[in-house]
Amino acid sequence: MATRKTLSTVLSIFAAATFAVSHQSASAEPVRDDNASLGKELRLPIYYWNDSAVKTKGVILAIHGVTLHARRFDSVAMKLAADGYPVYALDLRGFGAWRKDNEKFNGDDKIHYTQSQGDIVDVLSTLKKMYSDVPLYMMGESLGANLSVWVASTHPDLVDGIILSSPCVKRIVRLNKRVLIDSTKSFFHPYKPFGLEAHIKPYLSEDPRVTEEYLQDPYIDMDLSAADLIKSVKTNTLAIANTKSIPEDMPILMLAGEQDKIYKAKAIPKFAKNIPSHDQTIYIFENKGHLLLEHNFVEPDVIARMENWLAEQHKRDGKSGEIAEHNSKSVFSAEQSTTGSGETGGSGSPVGPSSLITPAPPTTTR
């Protein structure tokens, strides 16, 4: 009798514990791991966002822009992880953790774009093995977008699609007193860092909260030399120089702000025409600037465009086991009210299963 009672008690405790674990798993939330095992394995500063309660639909590697760092994707990465897309993000060499903790990664605090490109390939190659049964996407903003294009053109076997936010296609050149003064100083001292705040603050974003958050982030490097800036420009240019090598079936999502004061959003449709992919979707947001993803004030409509695109890719994968071909290339405006024909649903919204998408007729269809 005592034995039966003891057994009953043990079983009750086990059942309660099982329920607690199950309940905890079901109610889990996305978390960020600043010491991702992948980073330890590759000796690189890699951050990881995941929701253990959600089935993995795909994996994303995020690449930041100049002066920024991987953790700037925190807000958007949390949302994507909750949707079933774990996100990994890498600090490019010379930025983020490389500035002060470079000894952990057997490197220095200098900007090295060529080595960073090698790091990206290593990370993608490893992720491809880790997640062999789901799609692997690359997401980049600004310089990170251009590096994503570089991967798609040089290592297309490593990615199943790319998300480009504010790609650096055609820079807006400004000549004012501050530019002339700093240019003159840099001519005589090309390797001496100088402050970029005056050159960034007026142009970074249409949202003052985004700009202020950027300026207050101690991990953002706003002191670069002319040599570093020239390397950045050269890397941006070379990264998108071989777009003709991008496969015709490579899914591409491009996001940009019409109010971008750093790079011309109007140059993006022409840039897209030089990419062979038949699977391109472009959103130009009327009232947004350059920085769309790397801050904590990411607009719901920006997230919605990404979710819709990812859901469409997942739907295709689920139906055929492979990514199907788009009917056409289309350029959409996310906020304009002009009408037009093209790849839209009956309401004028882009085709896709996201209920968060608001109507957005296409401005150009080709």
Residue 293 has pLDDT above 80, yes or no: yes
C-alpha distances in angstroms, 356 versus 47, 60, 164, 258?
28, 21, 20, 21
| CA 300, chain centre distance (Å) | 16
Q: Is 119's pLDDT higher than 60?
A: yes
pTM equals 0.80
| Residue 109 or 194, more confident | 109
Return the HEC string of 229-260: HHHHHHHHHHHCCCHHHCCCCCCEEEEEECCC
Question: What pLDDT, in 10s, does the model give residues 57-87?
Answer: 999 999 999 999 999 999 999 999 999 999 9
Q: How confident is the model at residue 178 (pLDDT cuts 50, 70, 90)?
A: low
At residue 198 the predicted structure's pLDDT band, cuts being 50, 70 and 90, is: confident
| Better-scored residue on pLDDT, 332 or 205 | 205
Taking the domains of the chain in order of start, what are their residue ranges? Answer: 28-365
Q: Is the pLDDT of residue 301 over 90?
A: yes
Do residues 141 and 166 lie in contact, with contact meaning Cβ atoms separated by under 8 Å?
yes
Contact 67, 224 (CB under 8 A): yes
Mean pLDDT of 17-41: 71
* pLDDT reported for residue 76: 98
Residue 203 has pLDDT above 60, yes or no: yes
CA 295 → CA 145, 323, 332, distances in Å? Answer: 16, 31, 24
Distances (CA, A) of 128 to 49, 60, 84, 337: 17, 11, 17, 41
Average pLDDT of the residues in 227-248? 96
Residue 343 has pLDDT above 50, yes or no: no
Is residue 146's pLDDT more than 60? yes
Question: Beta strand 136-141 with 59-63: parallel, antiparallel or unpaired?
Answer: parallel
Report how far residue 54's alpha carbon sits from residue 175's, in angstroms, rounded to the nearest whole number. 50
The second-level CATH assignment, the architecture, of 28-365 is: 3-Layer(aba) Sandwich (3.40)
CA distances from 193 to 2, 66, 128, 223, 315 (A): 78, 14, 38, 5, 48
Residue that wins the pLDDT comparison between 318 and 90: 90
